[in-house]
Structure 1
Amino acid sequence: MAPEVKVPLLEGRGATPAQTLGNIVVSIVGTGVLGLPYAFRTAGWLAGALGVAGAGAATFYCMLFLLDCRDKLREQETEEDGLGDEQSRHGDGGNYTYGDLGERCFGPVGRHFTEAIIVLCQTGGTVAYLVFIGQNISSVLPALSPAIVVLALLLPVEVALSFVRSLSALAPFSILADACTVLAVAAVVKEDVQLLVERGQPFADRSAFAGLWGVPFACGVAVFCFEGFCLTLALEASMSNRAKFRPVLLQAIAGVTVVYVGFGVCGYLAYGDATRDIVTLNLPSNWSTAAVKVVLCVALALTFAVMMHPIHEIVESRLLAPGGWVRRRGGFVERAALHLSRVAVVATLAAIACFVPAFGEFAAFVGSTVCALLSFVLPALFHLRVVGPTASTWARAVDYFFLLSGLVFAGHGMYTVLSPQ
């Protein structure tokens, strides 16, 4: 049974609604937001806005699926243990991780499959970070290609950081990365506003609907942007008053969705067909823009180690399985195996990043495949398994809608990548 990562920000209980709101926003917003203007260019500003809004609504609804499953399982445990209602409502038991739900629904296979999807999503996010950093540093230093940046500059740093085993020591870098993302978004918005004022007619020569096939692309990027899905249960468990979590979650998702739509629309209206897959690459070549890119890339390079933590934990739990060859040897062999596994994983992801042609296409692929499975398919499947037997016909129909839509969405994303161009 592979452990799931504990996030220091979420450890303990007693978070207020305001603190929980901030935690949700921090867990959701990432560098994917900087690829939204390109997604709007591909789909059209109106189609992109509708796609992002739809992705936000679907994400919120499927997060509720996880909470409903947890509540139902807690109710079943209460009935089995004969606990009173008061103890059931206020006891500390009944907390579940995403992997726990998978195991309760489908046994050990369910846990392994759920955690494999989580690892794939985390892997996609880390590779996207490397691609993002490589392209931005290369834009500042044209003599260095993105592949050279990743292999010669990033790889040694990330290998060294991978030996830091304390997640608490790495957690502040996530906050630094979020602050830098806000700085980069602010710089882009400032430039967008200036260009829109100069143009005078922001919607002239800008497509509202660029074509049917652009909509799934925009939705894939949007799903990729709603990170932190597997932290839903941990975020809810961290609140002092869990009954207030759902309205707080709604406020957070609604607010982030509005920001995403506004940022994507403004970016596309400002740059039109010249919009790059990472919108910071559209900024003018001056010292302030270069400084924003470098600071953002440094913060993301440090945050990469935080994102790698759950991958390392799951790999090492398999490597150190009881009765295994490494466990039997112990001592130096065990320590060497742990270090070598971390180096091998980081090096493999760096090599993959060198073959990713563009950030936007990769983000859309990850969002429309493994992220769609994690965000829509698995929650709907768990909800059907746990709540479905006692749910109404309408509720089960909604479950099947998300289940089938997620599968079709993931299939389309896979077909788009594998089909000949």
Structure 2
Amino acid sequence: MLDVRALNEAFVRNTTHDTDGNKLAWLKFKCLRFEKQRPGVVKFRYSHEGPYSEFNVQQIYGGPPKPLRCTKRRKGRVPDEPDNHDDAEDWTNKIKKDYPIPKAYPQALPISEAKKKDLLNLCTKGVIPRELHSWYQSLPTNKTVIDRLCEPDVTEPDDEDEELTRQNGERREKSTIILDNFNSTADLAGNPGFQSTLSLGSKEVINEKEYNPFEHRKVEHPNSTIGSLVHLLKSSLGSGILAMPNAFKNAGLAAGALGTIVVGFICTHCVYVLVRTSQEVCVDAKKPSMGFAETCGAAFEYGPKRLRPWAGFVTTLVDYALTVTYLAALCVYIVFIAENFKEVLDEYIPNYKLSVETYCALTLVPLVLICQIRNLKWLVPFSAIANVLLVICFAITMYYIFSGLPNPKERVMVAKVTQWPLFISTVIFAMEGIGVVMPVENEMAKPQQFLGCPGVLNVAMTIVISLYGIVGFFGYIKYGDEVRGSITLNLPQDEVLAQSAKILMALAILFTYSLQLYVPMEMIWRVIHNKISVRYHNITQICIRTAAVVGSVALAAAFPNLELFISLCGAIFLSTLGLLTPAIVDTVHNWDRGLGRFNWILWKNIFIGMISLIALFAGSYKSISDMVAKYGHSEHVESMSLNVTSNGTWVS
């Protein structure tokens, strides 16, 4: 609170008449308007529509001028209002300098405990913005403070007001319901003063209409249902589908087929749970839509009371984790593109064989350009093109897979249990598109069609699981334990058709890169855009997107091993965000709403959490140990290659 009495005494001359000389009726003001370029001028209206009248607090309209009272700090009159806009800022700064505004109280005044309870309840319901919650929580209270209704500062006992008061009193008397011999079946409608036809027994009429978030969504460029299906397919059908044969190698033919269906069902269920929770908490918070992190935070905020203080921490944690996850996935994309281009160009340009790291660097320019597309709607053509290229590449790959297919009995049916974590991690990495799901659902023209049967989610995931299972099953039968991180790398290196498949798949992943960058950019921009001037928004977006591409290219060039990179990202990031986080959010959200018969929701989420933790710890350990062993062996071979004699023979 600030004490403006000194400023008022030195600055304000007129509070009674407008520019036409009419008396101001302050209690009847409906609208006030202040303009920075006209300090001292107050525009007002007595209704919500129509032209504004105005008055100037420094000018006198009729009657003798109000004498100015000088302050101790500055003697003399306040400078007159500036004549033009150029002097307005200087004039305002001069007033601030000559008449500083002190605090009204040395410390914050306490409020009643009941008042603070009401304010915190408004915070819980989302009426008060989340960024202000900490301030309201810090308000001091005192048991001796008594709430009082505010009294008007200005009284206007004119004839018109007295007439309005009298008329209001008469209306209150007519509308008063007198219940004589009151009982629970009192006939309210029979009272002559009660003219309402409202049915007091109508729950639909009495209760407020439930908030519908779909009706309040205002998306500038909404996606159609088909466009949303294309986006969801493209987010899940990436480089991971070609890693499925390598995943089957770590599980075995029979275990891999069953495991793909089970993991695919769990991933689909987790996405369903997350979207359903988001739609339900949007009703509680009265918000049209929420992102992944907002949904997780809102589940805690409107969940059990003991967990509500953790809402902000959960939101921030998921935001950062999701950003790191998708930036890591972008590194996998770059390694995939680089290895496929290297396979082709090394065959046709044998005299200029470049390293995988060099090809990673060569992807920098096209990726920087394509990542400057910021609107999800304009990425639909790129997603469609990528899907077409993916289908062509898929057809070529299947042609080679089914050519001369060996007997399935030659393959391992169930691999060692120690290899299963790599299988789970690879499948989770391949299928999970958890971060893209919420942006796609939020920008749908008809979000009601995302869930349900058939629904966008069910159709997309049915296609994804089927394709992944087919490629993984028959790819492993074809190449067995010789299968590589991407099955396209196993295709014949001297055939044009096989090489075209590698190029098409690399281009498909190239076009997918910008869609995957959409998620981390959305989170980064949400955090920083309010801290940057609007005039610098465009250049800031360009810089951040360019930095993200450069960083992912640098990491990819540092660890260009596709198989281990895929399993490590799936184990650390996507198992946590794709499985564990939705399970926790679903449990918290339904804790007070009911966990079902025999608490089946709780047991189900515990099972999902266990699978996630197995993939996290066992998968990470196996991936890192294999990576250390592989790079340690590479360094050993490189050191041996340096120990050569003058005639080129090896030194033992």
The answer to whether the superposition gives a TM-score over 0.5 is yes
Per-residue deviation at 1:214?
A: 1.9
Change (3 A) 1:40 1:338: same
Structure 2 Cα separation of the partners of residues 57 and 204 of structure 1: 27
Alignment of 1:5-404 (within 5 A): 12=222, 15=225, 24-74=232-282, 76=284, 94-104=288-298, 105=300, 106-142=310-346, 143-151=353-361, 153-196=362-405, 199=406, 202-233=407-438, 238=444, 240=446, 242=448, 245-248=451-454, 249-284=457-492, 285-322=494-531, 327=532, 338-389=541-592, 390-392=594-596, 393-404=599-610
Output the CA distance in 1 between the equivalents of 2:248 and 2:284: 45
The worse-fitting range, judged by mean Cα deviation, of 310-319 and 95-104 is 310-319
- Provide the rounded CA distance (Å) in 1 between the counterparts of 2:228 and 2:514: 24
Distance, in Å, in 2 between the alignment partners of 1:299 and 1:56 is 23
User: Matched residues in 2 for 1:195 and 1:102: separation?
Assistant: 50
Corresponding residue number in structure 1 for 2:39: none
Letter in 2 for 1:120: V
Cα offsets for 1:175-200 (capped at 9, x unmatched):
2112212111111111111121xx4x
Q: Deviations over 1:219-249 (max 9, x none)?
A: 1111111132234445556374837823223
Distance in 2 between the 1:217 and 1:134 partners? Answer: 23
Please say which of residues 373-382 and 61-70 is displaced more in the overlay: 61-70
* In 2: Cα distance, 1:236 partner to 1:168 partner: 13
**Range 403-412 or range 140-149, more displaced:** 403-412
Deviation readout 1:83-119 (Å, 9 max, x if unpaired):
xxxxxxxxxx653321221221242222221222221
Coordinate RMSD, CA, aligned: 2.9
Aligned to 2:111: none
Structure 2: gaps spanning 5 or more residues: 1-129, 131-218, 301-309, 347-352, 630-652
Whole-angstrom distance in 2 between the partners of 1:66 and 1:241: 14
8 Å Cα contact 1:236-1:242 kept in structure 2: no
Instruction: Tell me the distance in 2 between the aligned counterparts of 1:230 and 1:214.
Output: 27
How has the CA–CA distance of structure 1 residues 73 and 412 changed in structure 2, closer, same or farther, with 3 Å as cutoff? Answer: same
Counterpart residue type for residue 520 of structure 2 = I
Give the helix-richer structure, 1 or 2: 1
Inter-partner Cα distance in structure 1 for 2:242 and 2:459: 22
How far did 1:378 drift? Answer: 0.9
CA drift of 1:124 comes to 2.3
Q: CA deviation digits over 1:19-56, x for unaligned, max 9? A: 76555433322121001111112221112112211211
CA 1:61/1:362 → structure 2, altered by over 3 Å: closer, same or farther? same
Moved more, 409-418 or 358-367: 409-418
Match for residue 89 of structure 1?
none
Mapped contact 1:173–1:302 kept (Cα < 8 A): yes
Structure 1: which amino acid aligns with 2:484? R
Q: Does 1:414 align with 2:616?
A: no
Q: CA separation of 1:67/1:48 partners in 2, compared to 1, >3 Å: closer, same or farther?
A: same
Residue 266 (structure 1) shift: 0.5
Give the deviation of 1:342 after TM superposition.
Answer: 3.0
Maintained 8 Å contact 1:236/1:245 = no
1:5 aligned residue: none
Structure 1, unmatched stretches of 5+, are 2-8, 79-92
**More displaced stretch, 341-350 vs 374-383:** 341-350
Q: Structure 1 residues 95, 135: CA separation in 2 closer, same or farther (over 3 Å shift)?
A: same
Mean Cα displacement is larger for which, 37-46 or 222-231?
A: 222-231
- Tell me the CA shift for residue 409 of structure 1: 2.0
| CA-CA distance at 1:129 after TM superposition | 1.0
In the alignment, the residues of structure 2 paired with residue 236 and residue 36 of structure 1 have an alpha-carbon distance, to the nearest angstrom, of: 27
| Structure 1 residue 406 displacement after superposition | 1.5
Structure possessing the higher relative contact order (Cα contacts under 8 Å, 6 or more residues apart): 1
User: What code does the residue aligned with 1:220 have?
Assistant: S
Q: CA 1:363/1:294 → structure 2, altered by over 3 Å: closer, same or farther?
A: same
Are the structure 2 counterparts of residues 211 and 10 from structure 1 closer, same or farther at C-alpha, using a change threshold of 3 Å?
A: farther
Judged with a 3 Å threshold, the aligned counterparts in structure 2 of structure 1 residues 140 and 20 are, in CA distance, closer, same or farther, namely closer
Q: 2: CA distance between counterparts of 1:45 and 1:410?
A: 23
Shift of 1:252: 3.6
The Cα of 1:359 is off from its aligned counterpart by: 1.5
Distance 2:437 2:317 in 1: 18
